[in-house]
A and B are shown apart, each in its own frame.
Chain A
Amino acid sequence: DTGVSQNPRHKITKRGQNVTFRCDPISEHNRLYWYRQTLGQGPEFLTYFQNEAQLEKSRLLSDRFSAERPKGSFSTLEIQRTEQGDSAMYLCASSRKSYSGANVLTFGAGSRLTVL
Chain B
Amino acid sequence: QKEVEQNSGPLSVPEGAIASLNCTYSDRGSQSFFWYRQYSGKSPELIMFIYSNGDKEDGRFTAQLNKASQYVSLLIRDSQPSDSATYLCAVKDNDMRFGAGTRLTVKP
Which of B14-22, B42-50, B69-77 interfaces with chain A?
B42-50
Produce 1/0 per residue, A73-116, CB < 8 A to B: 00000000000000000010100000011111111111000000
Interface check B96, CB cutoff 8 A: yes
A104 touches B100 (CB 8 A): no
Closest to A55 in B: B94
Q: A102-B32, A102-B51 are in contact. Are A45 and B43 (CB under 8 A)?
A: no
Interface check B61, CB cutoff 8 A: no
Cα A41 to Cα B45 in complex, Å, equals 16
Main secondary structure of the interface of A (DSSP, over half): strand
Number of contact residues on B: which range applies?
20 to 34
Closest to B52 in A: A100
Produce 1/0 per residue, B86-108, CB < 8 A to A: 00101010111111110000000
B32 touches A42 (CB 8 A): no
| B56-89 with Cβ < 8 A to chain A | 88
Contacts of B43 in A (CB 8 A): 91, 107-110
B88 touches A48 (CB 8 A): no
Contacts of B4 in A (CB 8 A): 42
Least distance between A74 CB and chain B CB atoms (Å): 18
Least distance between A58 CB and chain B CB atoms (Å): 8
Which residues of A come within 8 Å of B, CB atoms?
Answer: 33, 35, 40-45, 48, 55-56, 91, 93, 100-110
Question: Which 7 pairs between the two chains have the least Cβ-Cβ distance?
Answer: A42-B98, A107-B43, A42-B100, A43-B98, A102-B49, A42-B101, A102-B32
